[in-house]
């Protein structure tokens, strides 16, 4: 099931739409709120907290304007009647996977992916780069966070489970969520405009 979910692509001709519940969405101390609110403006971070929050994650394959195969990872939540989105699009660049975050792909993040003992995915974020027009620089990690995401399929309840923690190397825990969902597979060789970024970034 994990292979099928992360096998979404142009070759497979499949998209994956997951629907479920976040049993908890958490954030760090009060001083993390401005940081999270800034990220919310471009769908990079979610500032809200809650329990039993319904969500949808949409994984669609498409070819971006630069000819790169791309997969969307767009998550949408409804927290106290407020709709929040966390937008990401992933490409493969040589031997690495690059995750563009936000509506305008401002942040490009290198990802390290491994398989754990139960056949689940462990994803760790690494170096980050900021791009906006002519501006380009390596984003200092002391001002940002590193993500650790674990996702696995449980044969007992036939659901995918996800656990995310974002932490700063100096200040500790910033944001995280935990939940489960089921998936529907759809035929697709393109993504709906609503889940594509408003701007695509050529630089990796």
Return the number of other C-beta atoms located less than 10 Å from residue 168's C-beta.
Answer: 17
Query: How far from 74 is each of 31, 103, 138, 170, CA to CA, in Å?
Result: 26, 10, 24, 29
Strands 96-101 and 88-93: antiparallel
Q: How far apart are the first and last CA of the chain?
A: 30
Strands 74-79 and 14-27: unpaired
* Structure tokens that stand for 174 in this block: 């910033």
What does the pLDDT read at residue 22? 95
What does the pLDDT read at residue 36? 73
The pTM (predicted TM-score) of the whole model is 0.92
Q: How do the pLDDT tens digits run along the chain, 204 residues long?
A: 999 999 999 999 999 999 999 999 998 887 777 677 776 767 877 778 899 999 999 999 999 999 999 999 999 998 878 888 999 999 999 999 999 999 999 999 999 999 999 899 999 999 999 999 899 999 887 778 899 999 999 999 999 999 999 998 888 898 899 999 999 999 999 999 999 999 999 999
DSSP state of 163: E
DSSP state of 140: P
d(CA 113, CA 19): 23
What does the pLDDT read at residue 32? 74
Backbone torsions φ then ψ of 64, nearest 5 degrees? -80, 175
């Amino acid at each position: 099931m994990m292979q099928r979910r992360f096998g979404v692509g142009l070759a497979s001709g499949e998209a994956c739409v997951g629907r479920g519940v976040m049993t908890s969405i958490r954030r760090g101390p009060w001083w993390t709120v401005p940081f999270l609110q800034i990220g919310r403006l471009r769908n990079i971070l979610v500032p809200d907290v809650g329990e039993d929050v319904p969500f949808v994650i949409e994984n669609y394959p498409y070819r971006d304007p630069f000819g790169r195969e791309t997969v969307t990872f767009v998550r949408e939540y409804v927290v106290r009647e407020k709709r929040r989105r966390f937008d990401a699009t992933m490409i493969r660049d040589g031997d690495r996977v690059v995750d563009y975050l936000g509506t305008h792909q401002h942040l490009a993040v290198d990802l390290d992916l491994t398989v754990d003992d139960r056949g689940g995915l462990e994803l760790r974020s690494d170096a980050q780069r900021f791009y906006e027009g002519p501006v380009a620089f390596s984003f200092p990690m002391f001002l940002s966070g590193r993500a650790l995401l674990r996702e696995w399929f449980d044969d007992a309840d036939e659901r995918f489970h996800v656990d995310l923690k974002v932490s700063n190397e100096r200040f500790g825990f910033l944001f995280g969520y935990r939940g489960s969902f089921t998936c529907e597979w759809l035929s697709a060789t393109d993504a709906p405009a609503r889940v594509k970024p408003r701007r695509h970034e050529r630089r990796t």
